[in-house]
Amino acid sequence: MTLLFQGKVEVIEEHDEFVRTVRFTYRLPSIIRLNHYVKIRNQSYIRFSRENIYIRDDFSCQYCERRFHPKQLTLDHVIPAVQGGKKNWINIVTACISCNQKKGGRTPAEASMRLKSKPIVPTWLPKVQVKFSYAQAPDSWKEYLILASGF
């Protein structure tokens, strides 16, 4: 919908469902066409974000080494901000709430806690790949899938 409002796509087919705002009702797009080719940029730069840190650290606490749901994780400064620690890839790790509270405003050494692994700047992140069969595709897609496959 954002791309539509920005004028970057053309709606080819619509679903029977609607998106409503306070003033307007829009049919939900099913098939869209980009108005301009979008070049995929070089993936050598990984954006520093909470989600990407969780991915880098495998959704695991870097102190107790257990895996958690993202809602049960926090971000921890290895060198606390009050001691001059920066907010960057090599100073931020994933920690469970319990370990983060135990560590507090201390370094891991001061808190007698060991890091599972040294934080690094990632060079890659897993790509999300959506797979579905022709039978699972919405009916409005099937004509375009046949055209795209060359059958």
Number of domains observed in the structure of the chain = 2
Domain containing 7 equals: 1-39
13 plus 77 within the same structural domain? no
Q: Are residues 2 and 62 both part of a single domain? A: no
Which string of DSSP letters, residue by residue, matches 87-101?
A: SSTTTEEEEEHHHHH
Residues 61 and 112 reside in one and the same domain? yes
Chain segment 24-69, per-residue pLDDT in tens: 999 999 999 999 987 777 666 788 999 999 999 999 999 999 999 9
Q: What are phi and psi of 112, to 5 degrees?
A: 55, 45
Neighbours of 103 (CB within 10 A): 20
pLDDT at residue 151 tops 60 = no
The answer as to whether 141 is a domain residue is no
**Does 85 share its domain with 27?**
no
| Residue pLDDT, tens place only, 74-122 | 999 999 999 999 999 999 999 999 999 999 999 999 999 999 999 999 9
Provide the whole-model pTM: 0.60
